[in-house]
Structure 1
Amino acid sequence: MVQIAATRTTASPPINTRLLSLAALAAVIATLPLALTNNFHLDIAILAGFNAIVCVGLNLLIGYAGQISLGHAGFFGIGAYASGILVTTYGWPPIAALLAGAVSVGVLSFLLAKPILRLKGHYLAMATLGIGIIVSIVLRTETGLTGGPDGMMVDSFKIFGLELYGEKTWYWVVGVVLFIAVWLSLNLIDSPVGRALRAVHGSEVAAEVVGVDTARYKVMAFVVSAVFASVAGSLFAHYTGLITPAKADFFKSIELVTMVVFGGMASTFGAVIGAVLLTVLPQALTVFQDYSQIVLGAILMFTMVFMPKGLLPTIEGLIAQRRRA
């Protein structure tokens, strides 16, 4: 029964395919700077990388475990402010602050996941939305600690006395972290944990019948995805040098979910592609000026109507059909 349920979601790729995909990702990261002609283009690529790191983790929760979250920007914000406050206000080393933020988010998400993941459907969506709203309110109202609605300045990231400075340096940092995030995600998906998550997504009842601890694996996916968001938030804070509560609000959470769905749920590389396209596309649509948001919305509607599985899975399906033909 678990096998039947699991096959309803995207299966993990064979090892050789996974290695080829990772090699392709590494090649793209390594060669992309050759096509980026100025710091503005590098900045967009870096922001796309941050979004992709969060979406790779969020895809584990939504795409594989089948659990919705409308509050993941809150974990991104906690990671950003944890690094900002610990480094800038208390003089912590950036690496220690990043780890402290990730651990704090991991513990918090574990405590929250226990009760809220018992919910299903729109009840779960509302609960996760509530988490994000609470985090956003706290960041806006704790003026003495977070700077309030205006945000706070964050010191630069230093490691072994060396300061990470400039778009070119940060591009490689974000590229390496993204590659590690994708590698970890693919290995998790191809492990017994990943197979359990696909079984949970297919049918929780069937999974429980054969002894899968569904609650445990849902909590695990929630925690891992939250930690991914925290790490991305910490790095983002040091890169931009300024963080505001807007990065933890409801609209940011919706944007992250849209990226995962647009690229293709239960597809790690689909999540990356969705994050990259929906970060770059608004910049490309500025030529439409006041109509850019309308055009972006129309593109998303077209994709969801005609490619309900998401962009990458649909393309892969068309290629497979042509090969069979």
Structure 2
Amino acid sequence: MRILITGGCGFIGSAVVRHLIRHTRHEILNIDCLTYAASPHAVEEATSSSRYRMRHCDICDTSAVLAAFEAFQPDAVMHLAAESHVDRSIDSAHAFVQTNVTGTFSMLEAARMYWQALPPVLRDSFRFHHVSTDEVFGMLGPDDPPFTETTPYSPSSPYSASKAASDHLVRAWRHTYGLPTFITNTTNNYGLWHFPEKLVPLTIINAIEGRALPIYGAGDNIRDWLFVDDHAQALVCAVERGQPGETYAIGSRQPRTNLQVVRTICDILDELRPDPMGTHARLIEHVQDRPGHDFRYEIDPSHAEQALGWTARHDFESGIRLTVRWYLDHAPWWQAIRNRRYGGQRLGQVA
């Protein structure tokens, strides 16, 4: 297939690009606005492939997006471009509404115009794959069953509300115009090339440098943790096999509290890079909780596993060990981000 990917220089998008180049024969057009969280280095291995192209493009610019469609003639769209940091959405929601809502509208309109002009046989096989989050479903209590594809929406942050709005637009464009769309919702991802503000890379980097490891509240908030390479494989399975009108909830069945995540990272670093000052867990610092902090997210991936023929290959312990080793081995990448954006200071608080 010829696949147009939005946000292919982002954390999850770049993992998808790498997976497609390594494991398929699909052709790729990556359109990315290259915001603060994008990393062209994360797709550097793809640039030598004749199957990969890159276009610097703002998804909110419908004319520019439509021009990309016309030039590339894709068989499918994988729409990953999004603002995704909850803390940033609380501080300023404008960029989240602009990118996640207006940007998705722009992508849908460009896709609709392109799709309607296709010959019938190509129109029937075209797919628009919208990549979303489990945060649109709101918060689970301690004894609630995990989210499924039929869980009602109840977003509780500006970020999750903007993603919920984008999901509704995607379904509306299918219902109203017949555009063959489907949605995947996933839980927390971690892994290689993750922007250093997020919980896992922030913890690794601060621990390496002997800085405080901030955890919101008691650290008992629970997330289902999915290794990003496993998610990338699931997304490729979805674009190859997904059916219009479907929703696929993608998870790993690996729930952990934030405190468990941080302590596991500390234990691995104690083994791989001992600190003469003591265990890395001594650096844990509980800070004031953020507003509206959802207690628990967890996904039941049974439907996606059966429909897509996919299961997560990494458990949390193996995936987090690979991640810690990667950050130890790629210090120049995250040091450059830290120095450029934060003047060498502590990167932020956990999500």
Q: TM-score, normalised by structure 1?
A: 0.26
Instruction: Give the number of the structure whose residues are more often helix, by fraction.
Output: 1
Q: TM-score, normalised by structure 2?
A: 0.24
Instruction: Give the number of the structure whose residues are more often strand, by fraction.
Output: 2
